[in-house]
Amino acid sequence: MASDIIFLPAAKLRLLAERIHGIERTNLGDIQFSSTTEQVVYLRISNSNLQSVGSILDASDAAVTKYANDAVRGPIASLIFAYTETCLNNALQIFNNYTIRRDYLEKITSHLQNLVKELDDLDTSNSADVTALAEQIQHYNEAVIKYTKMTQNTRASEDFSRRLRNSGIDFPTWYQAQLGFSGQFEKLTDEQKILVYDSIIEASGRGKVLNHIVLKAISVPGNFRSNQLKDITIKDAAAKAVLLKNAAVITWDVFTAKHPIKAATRDAIVIAANKGWGIIGRLSFKLPW
């Protein structure tokens, strides 16, 4: 996992994206591609990631410029831009694998486009709607910041992971006992999966991201019930995907802490991703349970 996270502003995020792109191109000499087509795909994804970072920043910056003289929309546009910086710091510093990063950047793009559209369509005469949109963005931002910082706090999970392993409790047993969700994990809703991950992260000692205030702010209006969390629906599907990927990555790290075999698998994937081996690009983002 990432160690020293530094939250960079937009200009430096562009430079970081260029730096990563340069490293990925340099790694071409170390990659054993099975075909020319595979090499072309690798370069296309790497180029796309670089372009996506620029496009995402440009779109959010355009919203700030568009509403610079709007007393209501202007501050919200600035919130979106700050959140954009948070998401890109998260994408570039946490998601090492270039194919996973591509998918994540696509989710970020859709999510931010949805927020900008909400801003464009906002009824500025409705103070409740204005407040709700601003709070929604602020809570998304806080959640992604927390997820990003949690990737550094691996020591907090070591004792928890050891106790869990020694007790023989497996992943399904954990979430069924703690949250009352039944059935296979793969068949849970994305919202339920996020809640499962969040409960594990909290129990491991890394903190909690999705408290009731956050969940209420990002859920479909009128959908949130504190005593019926399993039935909540997050308003923005793309935002849901952003949160799900972050929570999954941290949960994987929680379960592999102090577990030599699983940790070796995790570290091998990270090393391979940094090295740029061709085979790693074909791995789908699936947790090992």
Give residue-wise pLDDT tens across range 234-247.
Answer: 989 999 999 999 99
Q: Cα 32 to the chain's mean position, in Å? A: 30
Q: In angstroms, what CA-CA distances link 39 with 30, 43, 99, 101?
A: 12, 6, 13, 18
Distance CA 91, CA 144 (A): 10
Out of 81-95, 175-189, 272-286, pick the least confident.
272-286
Q: In angstroms, what CA-CA distances link 266 with 101, 107, 251, 287?
A: 16, 23, 12, 10
Does residue 228 surpass a pLDDT of 80?
no
pLDDT of residue 234: 92
> 70 lies in a domain?
yes
Position 263 confidence tier, pLDDT thresholds 50, 70, 90: very low
Distance CA 284, CA 34 (A): 18
The residue among 4 and 5 whose pLDDT is bigger is 5
Position 257 confidence tier, pLDDT thresholds 50, 70, 90: low
pLDDT of residue 65: 99
Out of 74-78, 124-128, 223-227, pick the least confident.
223-227
Q: Give the number of domains in the chain.
A: 1
Distance CA 267, CA 108 (A): 26
Domain that holds residue 83: 10-282
The residue among 242 and 278 whose pLDDT is bigger is 242
- Cα-Cα-Cα-Cα dihedral of 92, 76, 238, 243, to 10°? 60
pLDDT of residue 265: 37
Q: Among candidates 82, 78, 107, 102, which has minimal Cα distance to 92? A: 102
> 30 lies in a domain?
yes
> 50 lies in a domain?
yes
> 2 lies in a domain?
no
pLDDT of residue 130: 98
> 186 lies in a domain?
yes
> 138 lies in a domain?
yes
**Span 88-105, mean pLDDT?**
91
pLDDT of residue 278: 37
Distance CA 150, CA 2 (A): 10
> 46 lies in a domain?
yes
Write down the mean pLDDT value for the chain.
Answer: 83
> 33 lies in a domain?
yes
In sequence order, what are the beta bridge partners of 234? Answer: 219
Q: Give the rounded percent of residues in the chain with a pLDDT score beyond 70.
A: 81
**Span 268-287, mean pLDDT?**
39
**Span 214-221, mean pLDDT?**
88
